[in-house]
Amino acid sequence: MNERDSEAISALLSRHGYQLVPDELAADVILVNTCSVRGKAEDKALGKLRLIVAAKRERPGLVVGAVGCMVQRLGMQILKQVKGLDLAVGTHRLSVLPALIEAVSQGRGPVVDTGEADPETESMSGHLGGSLSAFVNILLGCDRHCAYCIVPTVRGAEWSRPAESVLREVRALAEQGCREITLLGQSVMSYGKKNPVWADSYRSERGFVEPLPRLLEAVSQVPGIRRIRFTSGHPVGCSAEIARAMGDIPGVCDHLHLPVQSGSDRILKQMRRGYTADDYLAAVQRLRKSVPTLALTTDVIVGFPGETVEDFEATRRLMAAAQFDNAFIFKYSPREGTPAAAWVDDVSDEEKLRRNHIILADQDILGEALNRACIGKTVEVLVEGPSLRNKERWAGRSSTNKITIFDPREDVQVGDIVHVHVEKVGAQTLYGTLKEGKS
């Protein structure tokens, strides 16, 4: 979501006469987009901001700003945390950035703006050209209020963009050459459940009733769009209709990010996640029945307050049962303003690190085993260009979101969808040879 916000800010400023530059040293304005999900993310952002502000001694005209979640959380306090900061803008007010930069340039700073705004801000729907893949916000905010999570505080209540607004953005992206769309929402399966998003005249050709399946179907009909993803999911939202949509709608990828956070029912209840371990596995089974090739990724928190060794082992058992292709493991850290921050953080840092390493090792073994099953098979890959690690080879992503490395061919270009015969794998990567033909 921050990646998407950063792109939207860049596009907005470009429309106001600013030019994106590749290096901080060439910039007249430097904005740091911040995250509040973990304390470490805030610490890194504050450290970066202080370094940039220090550079103003040699570059007195430089404008330095902070935007995003940390600003929304800290408000005016951020000026005490970062002496010399010129401006700070919260998540709800990103569209006012051009005006605030101009004000600061005229000596009317520092300024902090964390006020409320109409969440349907068309000025923040812009994109930078030339990308094969793009993020599109469809659901803003979150109403889940998990005990450890600051997102509802910094992003606000859930609000779904009207479907036609989303489709206008997708059509514009397709006209620019975009081939793959990722629909974004903090709890994306809640799309359209709080406010109306579809005109009464719209009818789904496949008989979908729920708002998200209807949107997936409509996006799939936009000429030029070959792949559709959506994230992040929530187990409670994995309805039978969403499972059917993933299996039936052309272009919807067979990959889903579905955070589980814990495999212990006791910890899940404390986290206020709204499901049990069995509920989660039932959702996985429902999805895989509709999409047998589904690749599943997840988030896990270790060391949540009160997590015992048995709770931790329950998480390991669930992960083995769910057969995740990849998992992002986080050591719990209290976030001020959340219910869990008031509880005793009783799992030591050493024990959190131990549990983190154990699950990472488990996942490496499982991920490589799942990938080995791909050897000898052919996967469909959207070509992205030269590999980051070896420019002589090319890379792309499979429909299951796995990085796939292959030798280039003269008739294959960036943006093509090709077929790669898998010959070797790693824990997170496939390696293979291009087959004849492309699409």
Domain 122-372's class?
Answer: alpha beta
Contacts of 288 by beta carbon, 8 Å cutoff, 6+ apart: 294
The identity of residue 283, as a single letter, is A
Q: Tell me the mean pLDDT in the region 231-242.
A: 96
CA atoms within a 13 Å half-sphere pointing along the CA-CB vector of 107: 0
Summarised one tens digit per residue, pLDDT across range 85-104 is: 999 999 989 999 999 999 99
Question: Quick one: pLDDT band at residue 38, thresholds 50, 70, 90?
Answer: confident
Question: Quick one: pLDDT band at residue 371, thresholds 50, 70, 90?
Answer: very high
- What's the CA gap between 62 and 426, in Å, rounded? 45
Question: Quick one: pLDDT band at residue 17, thresholds 50, 70, 90?
Answer: very high
Domain boundaries, the chain: 2-113, 122-372, 378-438
Summarised one tens digit per residue, pLDDT across range 156-195 is: 999 999 999 999 999 999 999 999 999 999 999 999 999 9
pLDDT at 201: 81
Extract the runs of DSSP E, i.e. beta strands, from 110-266: 111-113, 133-140, 159-160, 180-185, 227-231, 255-257
2-113 and 122-372: identical CATH topology = no
- What's the CA gap between 154 and 34, in Å, rounded? 11
Summarised one tens digit per residue, pLDDT across range 265-285 is: 999 999 999 999 999 999 999
Question: pTM of this prediction?
Answer: 0.93
Question: Quick one: pLDDT band at residue 119, thresholds 50, 70, 90?
Answer: low
Strand (E) or helix (H) holding 383? strand 378-386
Classify residue 239 as left (phi > 0), alpha (psi -120 to 50) or beta: beta
Q: Tell me the mean pLDDT in the region 33-40.
A: 91
* 3-class DSSP state of 23: coil
Is the pLDDT confidence value at 120 over 70? no
- What's the CA gap between 61 and 217, in Å, rounded? 50
In contact, 430 and 379? CB cutoff 8 Å: yes
pLDDT at 148: 96
Q: Report DSSP state, residue 57.
A: G
Is the pLDDT confidence value at 54 over 90? yes
**Residue 228 vs residues 35, 127, 217, 253, 399: alpha-carbon distances, Å:** 26, 17, 10, 6, 9
What CATH topology corresponds to 378-438? OB fold (Dihydrolipoamide Acetyltransferase, E2P) (2.40.50)
What is the rounded average pLDDT for all residues in the chain?
Answer: 94
CATH superfamily membership of 2-113: Methylthiotransferase, N-terminal domain (3.40.50.12160)
Is the pLDDT confidence value at 397 over 90? yes
pLDDT at 370: 95
Summarised one tens digit per residue, pLDDT across range 305-324 is: 999 999 999 999 999 999 99
pLDDT at 179: 95
Summarised one tens digit per residue, pLDDT across range 125-152 is: 889 988 899 999 999 999 999 999 999 9
Is the pLDDT confidence value at 236 over 60? yes
Print the SS3 string covering 384-417.
EEECCCCCCCEEEEECCCCEEEECCCCCCCCCCE
In contact, 24 and 51? CB cutoff 8 Å: no
In contact, 324 and 300? CB cutoff 8 Å: no
- What's the CA gap between 374 and 424, in Å, rounded? 9
pLDDT at 109: 83
The identity of residue 329, as a single letter, is I
- What's the CA gap between 284 and 322, in Å, rounded? 7
Question: Quick one: pLDDT band at residue 238, thresholds 50, 70, 90?
Answer: very high
Contacts of 174 by beta carbon, 8 Å cutoff, 6+ apart: 222, 223, 224, 225
Summarised one tens digit per residue, pLDDT across range 289-303 is: 999 999 999 999 999
